[in-house]
Every structure is written in C-alpha cells, then in structure tokens.
C-alpha cells in the first residue's frame, strides 16, 4: 500500500508552507481559465446532442464542428481542427508544416533545434539518427529548407542584422517551441516571451506565418499564444487540453486561411475538414476540455512542490518553485543513469496502472537515444497524467509532468523522497 512516512510527510508539509503563495496564484489562474472555458461552452450552445457518434465519411457532424468552434473561441482563433486522428503532437505539427510549406521555401526555428521526433520529420537522416528508409518524406526530401537560431543568440542576431536576413524570402514559416523538449538548458516560454518574439518577427516580415508548438502550455497562464500575435498554435489532446479524459488526438487553432490549407494536408485537396468520422467517445473530449483548467492547476501545484522539495534535498531543478512557468514540465538534474532509474521507478510504482512494472530504457520511434519512461497512465503515453521520462544521455535530466490530482503527485513525490532522505 502506498503511504507517506512520518518523516517524509513533515518534510513535504514544510515545503508546502514554502510554496503557499505559488499555489494561490495557480488557483487564481485556474479560476480565470475555468470561467473562460465555461463561457465558451455557453456561447457555443453545447448540448448533449454534441456527444453523438458519427460514422462513414463523417459529413455534417455537429458535435465535431462544435468541438472545433469551442477550441477556436477559447484559444482566440478564427478556426480549428480538433480530431482523434492525430497520433501525437509531432503528427499534428507536421501536418501543419505539410499544409503550409512548399518546395523552395524555408522554415526557421527561433527556439533552437526542434525536439527529437519533429527534428527527424523535418531533417530526415541528419542529427546522427539511425538510418531508416521511412525518412524519405521529411521536409528536406521535399526541397524545403530549415534553419534554427538559439534563443540566447536572438538579441545579437537582431542587432547585427542576421535575423532580418533570415526572415526574408524564401522564409515562409517561423516556428516557436513553447516547451523545452529534451533540452535541459532552456526554459519554457511564457506568452509574454512569445509575444516579444512575434513582435520582432513582424518588424522584419509582416506576412511570415508564425506557428507555436503549444504542447504542455495550455491553460498555464491566463492568455494563449494567439493573443500574443502568433498565427497558429498546435498541440496534443493527451496533454493539457484533453483534461486527462481525451483518449487520443491533437488540435490546431488559428487563422482561418491557414487552417484551410492545413485541413487539405490533413485529408485531401477539396475535402478539407468537412470529413472525418468522430466515431465514439466524443463526450470525453468535451468533458476533458472543460476539466482541463483544473487538471493543469493540479499538475502545476504538483510541479511547484516537486521543485521546492527536490531543491531542498540538494538537487538542481528547472524551473525553480518561484519561477514564472510557461508549461507544466518540471526537470530535476540527476547525477547518473542509476539515479534516473531510481526516480523513474518511484514514479512507476506509485502509479495506478502497471505499478508492478519496472521501467527500462528502450528504443522509441523518432529518438536517437534510448528513452526511460515511467507512466502508469490510464491513456498510453498521456503526459496529462503523472509521469516522468528521460533520454539516456548526459546531463542526466528527469522530466516530470502531469497529474490528474495534486494528491497523487504528492504520493509519488513521497516515494521519490523516501529513496533520498
């Protein structure tokens, strides 16, 4: 039975007292975002008829169309694609790129190299990845070029004119990755950070498309990146906006003309977003989206407490407990592979599903290093649920995220602490 030892309980209580101010701020954000989502439900006149299944081609699916209108209204976009047919955040974002970019054009990342799976989709065999014939459909193979700049270099590149040159033709799209991915040295971006980047881009190239990978960032703040000037946001439904209930899928929200182009890459030219049967579980998407602000708050409170506790125990963490957060991911810098295994096992054995399993490093499609994953989740791979993962490479950094309830995160934290204090 999972419980908390007295010594560990006292330690956590002291930490919770320390982070009380941050917890109150998170509660305030959750109330604001819950009101925003509730208002969108009311404005879109969502009814239980919206939960009905659709089959075949999926023509005239009111529930599907209303769900997309709900996302568009909540995230301040003109239109949206919200579908269970997206496999992952990478699949969703790559669909955007396929719909918007043409041979001879260029994509620029302002946040360094994209995370492993998206980098492979863009560059194919570069970045020292194993040879695999399936990479022939990468953007590079289609004659679309790619360049990136490191966030820390942006002021210098802005000053010396390099950024201005990069943003001219053939550049068509600027990509901003909100989360740090598997980069232990960069912070997640706040909406203010994104707004500043967007303003800089617009100063040089008014018509370039700005796409934000919003994974892990939804409902962390009172605003979303479209309110900061981005044209499009995209993400996964088994992360924040699925509320722990959506069983699969992804979303794209933004300017209508770009959504139209993307929809034809999603389906086929001439079909757009008018097809695609939403066969079952539609209620879970609605209910999950309604619950998402509270789920994100629970996760954030857990992340803040983990940050303070692990720092108190002598570990370097990012962000710190009192830092402004752009997403719900918490990193802990460890000393060895053995510590990674120890902490992942602590998360796994305090999970509701597969708690009796032991995480072992494995090859994961799209990654160049073995990945250690702990996630006894109800939905496979759902990082809206309490989970942790790490690539087996230096520096040994554990990425912790999610939590359907704060109480569950604290139980998991207590098991981690029992191994070190």
- pLDDT > 90 in the chain, percent: 91
Average pLDDT of the chain to the nearest whole number: 95
The pLDDT assigned to 133 comes to: 52
Sequence-separated (6 or more) residues with CB below 8 Å from residue 70? 40, 41, 44, 46, 286, 289
Would you list the domain boundaries of the chain?
A: 6-33+292-418, 45-288
Q: How confident is the model at residue 333 (pLDDT cuts 50, 70, 90)?
A: very high
Residue holding tokens 């008014």?
A: 206
Tell me: pLDDT of 382 over 60.
yes
What is the pLDDT averaged over residues 255-268?
A: 98
What is the pLDDT averaged over residues 257-262?
A: 99
Q: How far is CA 82 from CA 63, 276, 278, in A?
A: 11, 11, 10
The pLDDT assigned to 251 comes to: 99
Q: Is 104:143 a contact under the CB 8 Å cutoff?
A: yes
Q: Which CATH number is 6-33+292-418 given?
A: 3.90.1150.60
Q: Is 261:100 a contact under the CB 8 Å cutoff?
A: yes
The pLDDT assigned to 365 comes to: 79
Q: How far is CA 409 from CA 34, 340, 352, in A?
A: 22, 18, 12
Q: Cis peptide leading into 379, omega within 30 of 0?
A: no
The pLDDT assigned to 127 comes to: 46
Q: How confident is the model at residue 2 (pLDDT cuts 50, 70, 90)?
A: low
The pLDDT assigned to 362 comes to: 86
Q: How far is CA 280 from CA 63, 87, 388, in A?
A: 11, 16, 29
Q: Mind listing the pLDDT tens digit for each residue in 283-307?
A: 999 999 999 999 999 999 999 999 9
Alpha-carbon gap, residue 343 to 420, rounded angstroms: 10
- Quote the tokens at residue 163: 């950024």
The predicted model scores a pTM of 0.95
What is the pLDDT averaged over residues 380-407?
A: 96
Tell me: pLDDT of 138 over 60.
yes
Classify domain 45-288 at the CATH class level: alpha beta
Q: Mind listing the pLDDT tens digit for each residue in 75-127?
A: 999 999 999 999 999 999 999 999 999 999 999 999 999 998 999 999 986 54
What is the pLDDT averaged over residues 190-214?
A: 98
The pLDDT assigned to 4 comes to: 87
What is the pLDDT averaged over residues 2-22?
A: 94
Q: How far is CA 200 from the centre of its chain?
A: 24
Q: Mind listing the pLDDT tens digit for each residue in 124-136?
A: 865 444 555 546 7
Q: Is 218:240 a contact under the CB 8 Å cutoff?
A: yes
What is the pLDDT averaged over residues 54-61?
A: 93
Q: Which residue did the predictor score with more confidence, 152 or 19?
A: 19
What is the pLDDT averaged over residues 205-221?
A: 98
From the list 88, 37, 9, 1, the residue with the least C-alpha distance to 379 is 88
């Amino acid at each position: 039975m999972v419980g908390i030892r007295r010594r560990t309980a006292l330690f956590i209580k002291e930490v919770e007292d320390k982070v009380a101010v941050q917890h109150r701020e998170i509660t305030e954000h959750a109330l604001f975002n819950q009101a925003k989502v509730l208002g969108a439900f009311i404005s879109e006149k969502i009814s239980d008829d919206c939960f009905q299944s659709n089959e075949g081609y999926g023509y005239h699916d009111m529930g599907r169309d209303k769900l997309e209108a709900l996302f568009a209204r909540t995230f301040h976009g003109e239109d949206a694609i919200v579908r269970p047919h997206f496999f992952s955040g990478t699949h969703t974002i790559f669909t955007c790129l396929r719909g918007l970019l043409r041979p001879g054009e260029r994509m620029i990342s302002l946040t360094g190299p994209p995370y492993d799976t998206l980098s492979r989709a863009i560059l194919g065999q570069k970045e020292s990845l194993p040879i695999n014939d399936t990479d022939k459909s990468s953007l590079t193979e289609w004659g679309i070029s790619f360049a990136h700049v490191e966030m820390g270099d942006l002021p210098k590149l802005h000053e010396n004119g390099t950024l201005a040159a990069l943003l001219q033709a053939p550049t068509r799209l600027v990509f901003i990755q909100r989360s740090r991915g598997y980069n232990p040295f960069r912070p997640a971006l706040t909406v203010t950070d994104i707004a500043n980047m967007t303003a800089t881009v617009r100063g040089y190239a008014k018509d370039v498309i700005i796409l934000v990978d919003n994974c892990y960032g939804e409902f962390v703040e009172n605003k979303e990146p479209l309110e900061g000037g981005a044209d499009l946001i995209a993400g996964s439904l088994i992360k924040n906006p699925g509320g722990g209930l959506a069983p699969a899928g992804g979303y794209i929200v933004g300017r209508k003309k770009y959504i139209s182009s993307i929809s034809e890459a999603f389906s086929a030219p001439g079909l757009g977003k008018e097809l695609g049967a939403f066969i079952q579980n539609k209620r879970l998407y609605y209910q999950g989206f309604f619950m998402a602000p509270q789920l994100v708050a629970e996760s954030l409170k857990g992340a803040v407490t983990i940050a303070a506790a692990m720092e108190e125990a002598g570990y370097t963490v990012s962000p710190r407990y009192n830092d402004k957060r752009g997403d719900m991911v918490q990193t802990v810098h460890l000393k060895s592979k053995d510590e990674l295994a120890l902490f992942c096992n602590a998360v796994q054995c305090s999970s509701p599903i597969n708690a009796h399993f032991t995480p072992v490093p494995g090859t994961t499609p799209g990654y160049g290093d073995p990945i250690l994953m702990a996630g006894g989740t109800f939905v496979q791979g759902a990082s809206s649920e309490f989970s942790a993962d790490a690539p087996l490479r230096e520096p040994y950094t554990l990425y912790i995220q999610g939590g359907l309830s704060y109480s569950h995160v604290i139980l998991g934290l207590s098991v981690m602490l029992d191994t070190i204090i």
